[in-house]
Structure 1
Amino acid sequence: MQFNFSGLRALVTGAGKGIGRDTVKALHASGARVVAVSRTHADLVSLSGECPGVEPVCVDLGDWEATGQALGSVGPVDLLVNNAAVALRQPFLEVTKDFFDRSINVNLRSVMQVSQIVARGMIDRGVPGSIVNISSMLALIPFPNLTSYCCSKGAMTMLTKAMALELGPHKIRVNTVNPTLVMTDMGKGVSADPEFVRKLKERHPLRKFAEVEDVVNSILFLLSDRSASTSGSGIFVDAGYLVT
């Protein structure tokens, strides 16, 4: 499926690595002007080399004040992908305030803040828009040692619905993409046990995890006019896991 985003400006958070990086590259190849947001300067430098014209913004989205300063004058944005996330592993009984707060601040609070900034601009300009929040199948099921992450993604489901309800009258659609495990750097970090990975893969009816490309294709679909009547919903890229 080919997408054409010529004439549109997109903002992608967590753009330095994995799903975010490939989303930037796909949007750039489809004609969009892209603002790439990452906390890692070196990743933005290399991404700008691969995608000339990409606008890099280096900021830690877990910092409310720094984010507001970095993105407060970002300019017109038509498409937003809230992808930035951390997956901090701790058993439930050992979860610390710092780990929990960091998970919520990056995975959830930044979604609200960045979306507020972008949506206000859309409304002021009187233009429609599309926002895609990158969630997880762990919004619906728990994994061991990922309590904080699961909580943040479960809350994202309701945040997405609330955004869709209030932004819908302004012709702004809001949806999620919910992948199973994707073997990005983050995915490898939370699945370091080979035996756990083997058993987990066997529980997927398709006997596979999701590829980055599978997730990116779903993101592009929800950003595009081909999903013009879809809002407050989600696409599960889970290889059938949730049917078991």
Structure 2
Amino acid sequence: MNFDFSGKRALVTGAGAGIGRATALKLAELGAQVIALSRTKAHLDSLKQENPSIEIICVDLVEWSTTREAIKKVTPIHLLVNNAGICLQTPLLDATPEQFDLIFNVNLKAIMNVSQIVVADLLERNLKGNIVNVSSLASHRGVANFFLYAASKSAVDSFTKTMALELSPKGIRVNAVNPTVVMTEMGRHVWSDKEKSEAVLARIPQGKFVEKLDVVNGIVFLLSDNSDMINGHMLLIEGGLRCC
């Protein structure tokens, strides 16, 4: 398969670390002009050092108006990866309104905000585009003690399906990737409890957690013309994880 994004402008949110950073670097390697967005300046500076061709934007996606103004300055965007997200351990009985607002503002509301600006600009310019939302297997299976996170990712899947229906007639495809535990810094922290992690590993036939590159490869495929007839799809990246 040919993965050549020359002449395409790509925006990756949450690009300072983890899946987002790896995605930004891969897309740049494949010829895209990459704009990396993160709220952490030090992470962006480090990314810029690693690949000086990447343009960086430091903004907190919780800030609605500031985000919109920042995105408008870098359009057009042909390839959008809505990757930014947070994961908090929130059992049902312990979840707070503040945690609810934070998780849904970052994991969901930010997707709406960024996508509105990118899509409106593409339509105005009569350009085609591709969007990939980074969701989670938690939207399909649920994860005990991650009540709010799982709910937010279920909403991301719903966003994805509805966006695809609305936008594909206009030349913009929308898909999602839904990985299980990914060995990012956040993933290692959340799943550092050996007893908890081994219980999940025992249900994965391949006997290992997902690595960043596994997710990046899925994102790249969905952004490319190789997946032209894949639309409104949730790509599970979980090594055949058994339900029980």
Which TM bucket (shorter chain)? over 0.9
Aligned to 1:221: 221
Aligned to 1:107: 107
Partners in 2 of 1:100 and 1:243 — Cα distance? Answer: 27
What is the deviation of 1:2? 4.7
Aligned to 1:157: 157
TM-score by structure 1 length? 0.97
Aligned to 2:55: 55
What is the deviation of 1:144? 2.0
Identity %: 48
- Shifted more, 205-214 versus 31-40: the winner is 205-214
Mapping of residues 183-194 of structure 1, within 5 Å:
183-194=183-194
What RMSD in Å do the two structures reach over aligned CA positions?
A: 1.2
Mapping of residues 6-25 of structure 1, within 5 Å:
6-25=6-25
For structure 2, the residue ranges without an aligned partner over 5 or more in a row are none
Which amino acid in the other structure matches residue 84 of structure 1? A
Mapping of residues 47-196 of structure 1, within 5 Å:
47-196=47-196
Q: Deviations 1:74-109 (Å, cap 9, x if unpaired)? A: 221100000000001122101011111100000011
Partners in 1 of 2:50 and 2:69 — Cα distance? Answer: 27
Partners in 2 of 1:38 and 1:121 — Cα distance? Answer: 21
- Shifted more, 7-16 versus 46-55: the winner is 46-55
Aligned residues: 244
Which amino acid in the other structure matches residue 88 of structure 2? L
Q: Deviations 1:155-182 (Å, cap 9, x if unpaired)? A: 1111101100111111100000000101
Answer whether contact 2:203 2:242 (CA < 8 A) is retained. Answer: no
Which amino acid in the other structure matches residue 16 of structure 1? G
Partners in 1 of 2:165 and 2:73 — Cα distance? Answer: 26
Which amino acid in the other structure matches residue 206 of structure 1? Q
SS of corresponding position for 2:151: helix
What is the deviation of 1:205? 2.0
Aligned to 1:32: 32
Q: Deviations 1:22-57 (Å, cap 9, x if unpaired)? A: 000000000100010000000000101111121100
What is the deviation of 1:208? 1.4
Which amino acid in the other structure matches residue 230 of structure 1? I
SS of corresponding position for 1:140: helix
Which amino acid in the other structure matches residue 187 of structure 1? G
What is the deviation of 1:63? 1.9
Partners in 2 of 1:242 and 1:67 — Cα distance? Answer: 39
The 1:242–1:66 alpha-carbon spacing in structure 2 relative to 1, beyond 3 Å, is farther
- Shifted more, 102-111 versus 186-195: the winner is 186-195
What is the deviation of 1:188? 1.6
Which amino acid in the other structure matches residue 105 of structure 1? N
Partners in 1 of 2:7 and 2:221 — Cα distance? Answer: 17
TM-score by structure 2 length? 0.97
Partners in 1 of 2:148 and 2:99 — Cα distance? Answer: 8
What is the deviation of 1:206? 1.9
Runs of at least 4 residues of structure 1 off by over 3 A?
none
Answer whether contact 2:85 2:106 (CA < 8 A) is retained. Answer: yes
